[in-house]
Chains A and B, each alone.
Chain A
Amino acid sequence: MAISAWPFRGREAELALIAQAMDDPAVAGMVVAGEAGVGKTRLALEALAKAGPERYVVKRAVATSATKSIQLGALAQLLPADLPSANLLRAATEALLAVDDGRRLVVEIDDAHLLDDVSAALLHQVVRSGAAFVLLTLRSGEPAPEPITALWKDRIIERFDLLSLSPLEVEQVLIAALEGQVDSTTTGMLWRATRGNALLLRELVAAGLDQGALTDSGGVWRWQGPLVMAPRMMELISARLERLDEDELHVLELLAYGDPLSLDLLASLASMRAVEALETQGLLSVEQSRRRTQARPAHPLYVEALRRRSQSLRARARQRELVEATQRFGARRREDELHLAIWQMAIGGEAEPRVLVSGARQAWAAFDVPVAERLARAALEGGAGVAAAQLLSDLLVYCGRAQEAEELLATLQFQPRDDEERARLEMAYAFIRFWGFDRIDEAFALLTELERSIANLGWREGIVAMRARFLAHTGQYTAALRLIDRLPDMPPVFEATEANALMVRALAASSHGRLSVATADVRRARRLVPRWREEVPWLGDMVEVAGYLSQTLGGDLAGAAETATRFHATAAEHTNYPFSHVVWCTLRGQAARLRGQVQDALRWLREGWRQSGEPKALASLCAAELAHAAALAGDHDLAERALAEAQASRRASQAIFDPWVDIAATWVSATRGATGQATEQALAGARRAHDTGALAYEPIALHDAVRLGAARVVVDRLGELATQAEGDLVGLYAAHALAAARQDGPSLDQVASSLAAAEATLLAAEAAAQAAVAHRRAGRQASARAAAASSARWLEACQGAWTPALGTLEAPRLTPRELQIAKLASQGLHNREIADRLGVAVRTVDNHLHQAYSKLGIGGRRDLGRFFDREPAS
């Protein structure tokens, strides 16, 4: 697909500004300045397009370096060939301004900084005389002829600087250019790569399409793999780099290998004048980060280009400079250590394995998997020991490359010399078996064997934590909790073990229904983060997953959604670590579904499902949630397919997520119309949850039965559970069951409100629908209508979701006019005011309002507040 017409987006305000100025006879012109490629010419052209030929005459010219040295060179195309050489300026001016028919003249010049002196002087005069509207584009940071500069410096006409596109604007451009949705990671990545420079963006997209990195799958465009460089982009960037002097190039090359660099360090290596010059030209940015001033290259694409241009000798020379300077300064921050490791690896030779291993851990903690892998391998080559091997092995397993991990360890053939080495090695193997191959029994056996041969307390504790983790993941919650409790009350020897233990307990406790324990543990684990973040880089995600789970199962849907959104944002930036991305896409999707936002849910879940290279650990959960959301949204094909995949890709090592698969199956059946079967599945799911100890899920499954109309069957059991459970959610489910079993309309209304307050909007709509039925059966027609209206209102926020419980709904649809008038009335406007505002008769307003009251089943204005959000009258 070729991009023939690159869309113009994100610049509406700028265009309006110019158009307004053009229309105003008192305004003589405007200067649009900006860096190369930001889109000035396009903006000017769009502005000219607005100058209709009935009112305007448009004349346009482009100044170039070729015409710069020729008198009137740039304007030559607009002037007759036979200008007298005497009084040239005046003759040229007259010729330029010649317009026979009273229309306004618009003169547009591109790259006005390249104008020759005579043209510059001419245009200056034209502006001063007001005889035309002169629109100039100008490259910022470049010297320009004095007469042109004077125009804006002396405030004769306005100058505005066209800035790069924001991420939101880039998204708008991409959607228009690719004619489809673009996934958020891709948008973020493309923005960061180009910093919103329109030209680079266009070239990068073209290159991506060309080289197949940018593809359309299922209506969503996404970028896979690293940035690509096309010859055209290299040309653009090289042309830019060519115009830099040696010092400036030196600075950029240093930044190409060390991003960010502390300004002090940079100053010790390179010319500050050059740094300032680069900043003015927009090629470098200086930022404050926690009380340290640092420099960064402004365009990642430039970094890419610079690295490609430098032959290896030059690259090594720069990195050697950086290493020496850093060692002189002393590596102050952790990021410095990572940089140091990378540079030393690049230089080769004297790299200390310790530094490389430390760098590898950090890189992983920052989700930079390729770098982490390279550093770990370099460390191993340099003679690093078992710790490096375990790090690399774990990393490979998380990336779905368990086979490689196995082979790596086999090749290395380490002979453990002490307890630590033996523990690390065997735990690495155990993890490969458990997480990578789903061979649970072997994994547990390895740990048992290991425990027999280790005396070191710290490592024994570590093994206990790992075993507990395996137990929790395989759904053996009570065993996991018991094991964690066996760890002594004093904090374990290793902080990593402590954090691991807290995370495991939080996971197990959540699923087991002990939510306060889970919440407290997550909080403690988070507080310890700085201490264990590098030793066990993978733990960060798992702690937050545990946090999310405890929020979700505890009924804090808003909090869960917030957690998921936050971590999804971070994870999505790191496409090289798909595990994290899939986890958070899945959880974010689930969180959206639980709040009734089915389209949002589908969006996130599709994004997660499409991740290739995912180590299949979360595949089942992701597919299940996708099936569930698709079912609610009415896409039955997708729901069936996804559910089949969810069930096929179940893993014993991820049994902790199985209950969600069961729940999804229930609703796939339900929305297909097989309500009886769905109810059976829900009840079976509840039994299974109870039997396997996944106690938090039993109430959910029983509540699903209530939603499907089988309240009487489950009301007793839910009542029982409510007395034992922590938190309010199970109590609410029990109240729902009771109200439904008794067909108690008013109680169902109350349940619906409570569910809505907890942001379970779809559940609220269902409960209200059930209330409507109950009211109707009891002959309370007005209440029935009111409940139905509430249900409709909540359902509207659910982006097209539908479930059987809603099927009984006869939603009283207010007509648009009735809705509009009712809304205004609810905001406190009197009928007269409404009539005035809408331009209709007061009687009309009266009639509509009464219709609305009747449909909504209310007596008067004062009851309208129930149906409309409290907004002040605008």
Chain B
Amino acid sequence: MDRAEAVRLLPEKYARALVLRDQGCDNARIAAALGIVPEAIDTLMRLAEAKLQQLLDNPPEVDDQLRVPLENPADLPEPPVV
């Protein structure tokens, strides 16, 4: 299982956070996209990485139905100007 596949198995917001981070979004933008306070984003990312590592260490046998559909991050609306 590679990283991209594992990301699809994370809970939706963690997955989206990782994708947005990979695309270079900063905390403010990620926070706006996910509807979470900016102060919680650092911990969110840590949890996301921890969960991802868990999946990579122990890849589960997974049904495609369990993969959360991710919308294209490019479609996300612009965050409000803070």
CB neighbours (8 Å) of B39 from chain A are 152-153, 155, 159
Contact B65–A164 (Cβ < 8 Å): no
Q: A184-B65, A572-B65 are in contact. Are A161 and B44 (CB under 8 A)?
A: yes
Q: Which residue of B lies closest to A169 (CB)?
A: B11
The answer to whether the Cβ of A293 comes within 8 Å of any Cβ in the partner chain is yes
The answer to whether the Cβ of B62 comes within 8 Å of any Cβ in the partner chain is yes
Q: Which of A12-20, A116-124, A498-506, A849-857 contacts its partner?
A: A12-20
Query: Which residues of A from 566 to 612 have beta carbons under 8 Å from B?
Result: 566, 568-569, 572-573
Q: Which residue of B lies closest to A189 (CB)?
A: B65
The answer to whether the Cβ of B60 comes within 8 Å of any Cβ in the partner chain is yes
Contacting B40 at CB < 8 Å: which of A160, A165, A293? A160
The answer to whether the Cβ of A325 comes within 8 Å of any Cβ in the partner chain is no
Query: Which residues of A from 178 to 233 have beta carbons under 8 Å from B?
Result: 184-185, 187-188, 191, 196
What separation, in Å, do the CA atoms of A153 and B36 have in the docked complex?
Answer: 13
What separation, in Å, do the CA atoms of A16 and B51 have in the docked complex?
Answer: 11
Contacting A566 at CB < 8 Å: which of B42, B62, B64, B72? B64
Contacting B11 at CB < 8 Å: which of A152, A164, A279? A164
Contact A280–B35 (Cβ < 8 Å): yes
Q: A16-B50, A165-B11 are in contact. Are A187 and B40 (CB under 8 A)?
A: no
Contacting A159 at CB < 8 Å: which of B12, B43, B63, B76? B43
Contact A17–B43 (Cβ < 8 Å): yes
Contact B68–A163 (Cβ < 8 Å): no
Q: Looking at the assembled complex, report how far the CB atom of A672 sits from the nearest CB atom of chain B, in whole angstroms.
A: 30
CB neighbours (8 Å) of A572 from chain B are 65
Q: Which residue of B lies closest to A141 (CB)?
A: B35
Query: Which residues of B from 15 to 73 have beta carbons under 8 Å from A?
Result: 35-37, 39-40, 42-44, 46-47, 50-51, 54, 60, 62-68, 71-72
Contact A166–B75 (Cβ < 8 Å): no
Q: Looking at the assembled complex, report how far the CB atom of B5 sits from the nearest CB atom of chain A, in whole angstroms.
A: 12
CB neighbours (8 Å) of A153 from chain B are 39
Contacting B65 at CB < 8 Å: which of A161, A165, A187, A287? A187
CB neighbours (8 Å) of A169 from chain B are 11
CB neighbours (8 Å) of B40 from chain A are 33, 152, 159-161
Contact B77–A288 (Cβ < 8 Å): yes
CB neighbours (8 Å) of B60 from chain A are 168
What separation, in Å, do the CA atoms of A289 and B71 have in the docked complex?
Answer: 8
CB neighbours (8 Å) of B46 from chain A are 17
Contact A565–B36 (Cβ < 8 Å): no
What separation, in Å, do the CA atoms of A12 and B11 have in the docked complex?
Answer: 13
The answer to whether the Cβ of A458 comes within 8 Å of any Cβ in the partner chain is no
Contact B50–A287 (Cβ < 8 Å): no
Interface centre among B9, B43, B71, B76 (most CB of A within 10 A): B43
Tell me what chain A mostly uses at the interface: helix, strand, loop, or mixed: helix
Q: A12-B54, A158-B42, A293-B77 are in contact. Are A166 and B10 (CB under 8 A)?
A: yes
Contacting A13 at CB < 8 Å: which of B51, B68, B75? B51
What separation, in Å, do the CA atoms of A568 and B64 have in the docked complex?
Answer: 9
CB neighbours (8 Å) of B44 from chain A are 160-161
Contact residue range for chain B?
20 to 34
Q: Looking at the assembled complex, report how far the CB atom of B27 sits from the nearest CB atom of chain A, in whole angstroms.
A: 12
Contact A569–B64 (Cβ < 8 Å): yes
Contacting A184 at CB < 8 Å: which of B13, B42, B54, B66? B66
CB neighbours (8 Å) of B12 from chain A are 163, 166
Q: Which residue of B lies closest to A158 (CB)?
A: B43
The answer to whether the Cβ of A521 comes within 8 Å of any Cβ in the partner chain is no
Q: Which residue of B lies closest to A170 (CB)?
A: B66
Contact B76–A288 (Cβ < 8 Å): yes
The answer to whether the Cβ of A167 comes within 8 Å of any Cβ in the partner chain is yes
CB neighbours (8 Å) of A698 from chain B are none
Interface string of A270-296 (1 = CB under 8 A from B): 000000000110100001110101000
Q: Looking at the assembled complex, report how far the CB atom of A608 sits from the nearest CB atom of chain B, in whole angstroms.
A: 14
Contacting A160 at CB < 8 Å: which of B10, B43, B62? B43
CB neighbours (8 Å) of A12 from chain B are 54
What separation, in Å, do the CA atoms of A78 and B40 have in the docked complex?
Answer: 29
What separation, in Å, do the CA atoms of A293 and B50 have in the docked complex?
Answer: 32
CB neighbours (8 Å) of A253 from chain B are none
CB neighbours (8 Å) of B47 from chain A are 13-14, 17, 160
Q: Looking at the assembled complex, report how far the CB atom of A96 sits from the nearest CB atom of chain B, in whole angstroms.
A: 26
Contact A163–B43 (Cβ < 8 Å): no
CB neighbours (8 Å) of B14 from chain A are 163, 166
Q: Looking at the assembled complex, report how far the CB atom of B22 sits from the nearest CB atom of chain A, in whole angstroms.
A: 19
Q: Which residue of B lies closest to A289 (CB)?
A: B71
The answer to whether the Cβ of A337 comes within 8 Å of any Cβ in the partner chain is no
Contact A166–B68 (Cβ < 8 Å): yes
The answer to whether the Cβ of A336 comes within 8 Å of any Cβ in the partner chain is no
Interface string of A709-724 (1 = CB under 8 A from B): 0000000000000000
Q: Looking at the assembled complex, report how far the CB atom of A727 sits from the nearest CB atom of chain B, in whole angstroms.
A: 28
Q: Looking at the assembled complex, report how far the CB atom of A303 sits from the nearest CB atom of chain B, in whole angstroms.
A: 19
Q: A12-B54, A196-B11 are in contact. Are A159 and B37 (CB under 8 A)?
A: yes
The answer to whether the Cβ of A614 comes within 8 Å of any Cβ in the partner chain is no
Q: Looking at the assembled complex, report how far the CB atom of B40 sits from the nearest CB atom of chain A, in whole angstroms.
A: 5
The answer to whether the Cβ of A625 comes within 8 Å of any Cβ in the partner chain is no
The answer to whether the Cβ of A461 comes within 8 Å of any Cβ in the partner chain is no
What separation, in Å, do the CA atoms of A169 and B54 have in the docked complex?
Answer: 12
Contacting B9 at CB < 8 Å: which of A16, A17, A168, A282? A168
What separation, in Å, do the CA atoms of A187 and B36 have in the docked complex?
Answer: 27
The answer to whether the Cβ of A108 comes within 8 Å of any Cβ in the partner chain is no
Contact A166–B64 (Cβ < 8 Å): no
Q: A13-B51, A188-B66, A288-B76 are in contact. Are A163 and B13 (CB under 8 A)?
A: yes
CB neighbours (8 Å) of B42 from chain A are 158
The answer to whether the Cβ of A171 comes within 8 Å of any Cβ in the partner chain is yes
Q: Which residue of B lies closest to A33 (CB)?
A: B40
Q: Which residue of A lies closest to B53 (CB)?
A: A13
CB neighbours (8 Å) of B72 from chain A are 288
Contact A168–B35 (Cβ < 8 Å): no
Q: Looking at the assembled complex, report how far the CB atom of B48 sits from the nearest CB atom of chain A, in whole angstroms.
A: 9
Contact A279–B35 (Cβ < 8 Å): yes
Q: Which residues of B contact A (CB under 8 A)?
A: 9-14, 35-37, 39-40, 42-44, 46-47, 50-51, 54, 60, 62-68, 71-72, 75-77
5 more contacts with CB within 8 A, not counting A33-B40, A152-B37, A573-B65, are A13-B54, A17-B47, A166-B11, A168-B60, A187-B63
The 8 closest A-B CB pairs, nearest first, are: A166-B11, A160-B43, A288-B75, A13-B50, A167-B66, A184-B63, A569-B64, A188-B65
List 6 A-B pairs, Cβ < 8 Å. A14-B47, A17-B50, A155-B39, A167-B65, A184-B63, A187-B65
Q: Which residues of A contact B (CB under 8 A)?
A: 12-14, 16-17, 33, 140, 152-153, 155, 158-161, 163-169, 171, 184-185, 187-188, 191, 196, 279-280, 282, 287-289, 291, 293, 565-566, 568-569, 572-573
